[in-house]
Structure 1
């Protein structure tokens, strides 16, 4: 880990420790959470007065300890619930903190979890043995929350970013009637051709993945540089101390490629209300596939917002005015769809 400005020797030691297993990640997050929230980034300037935030660890049916967090306005019944699915390598405890505060202060109940192997949940860091199993883990966790009698009558929306967009779509395909809509931000329905190794290399890596599934071997371009348009915001990603920043593990890469190919074949089976957001200059996930999703989805209620010159990290790495615009577009869509649901029920 490179030296972070303003970080003393003891904190640097925590950063330099191996984070393959969850105790090291939890220690790093605990040491850095106050530093993170004081970064000079528009997302961390969202006021949190009047918000109630809870963090919890819960053992799932597979015996994996899952970290999840909630944000909601105190003493107010939410208009709806929003369930977040984070991107590859990410966690729900860094940039999403600011996004969640914005949604909670707009009177939404927000829930987010770290997938097994990511963030503060148990599991080998950055390892996805089965994308379907990961999706089932998310369904299990979010179903428990939805069944709370306090929330039962409220509309529920999925919110997926990047790989989380693929998670959200897979959840919908497994539970076609369970959700009232989905917000998909630069969804990973297809990895951009510029990010995928040549076909011959993919065949070699797939063969190697069967022998050495957990090895970090897949050649990739710098995701931070590709995802964040503003250099200062790109530098601030270093403070996301528990994100997975190494080369992808072999089997994880195989699962991601397999999943995107599968989703690309099933776009017409998507039936729920959709808000799709994508940067036109995104070189990580392909904006043309968001256009294809918009055109092929069977949803009668769907909207595609393309942002000129914007990169992959639409809500974290763009100029402040773009970030504000994207967040306002999300809240406006949620307001409209929550109102429709509450009027009809």
Structure 2
């Protein structure tokens, strides 16, 4: 994507008007109110979710549904292209080929993205001609590790057999001007990740795979958020990735994998969020690394290091 872009929900600190379908599509791409904690604990009907988005965006319910359908169709089209590759299809079956298991993804907007890596994984598993595990996306835009601790009851309610945990980009997010403060300190990120792993492994008896956040592009971040009240530093996200590797030695190091891609077409114009092409690369990397683990083995991370 080139040129100005509408900030996604986690970076919207003052309500700028959303007037065009392109802006609405951008917002809906990263927003699914069904995953919002309050509405997860007190669910409402699908029509009310559509109405909520429509009122937020100043459009009709039909416009919301049309945008969602378009994004879903795009994700399924990409998934079909991925399945055409024999290597990806074989790796996918190794990862998802356990009917009755439930694979749950927990993360921020990179996971919540309707064109994102987990939606592509879910669509590919659905389009494949073999039975597969059930896929549940609990990604919520803007989430930090602390936010996921707060809504752990919803993860428990999903009854996961395997949790894919990609967090940290928003732990490194800073707020304020002319001075700025980071959302979550390095020590707090380490503590929260240890707690989440222990809650999943000991509390739920489930497997967990930690995935470090992807690399970012400082140049584009500075251009997009200059003078704003929200920002990121590439060094802070690198620090979060290092913490995740320390806490969970078996983590998939997506940050390391993507470091050399950050200045290309891997990221959107904001320098933080992967493009649809970037998300395709992410799911390919994650599936390959999950499949490369011992055949039929348990992908459970070891207990977090104290």
TM-score by length of 1: 0.42
- Which has the larger share of helix? 2
TM-score by length of 2: 0.47
Structure with bigger strand share is 1
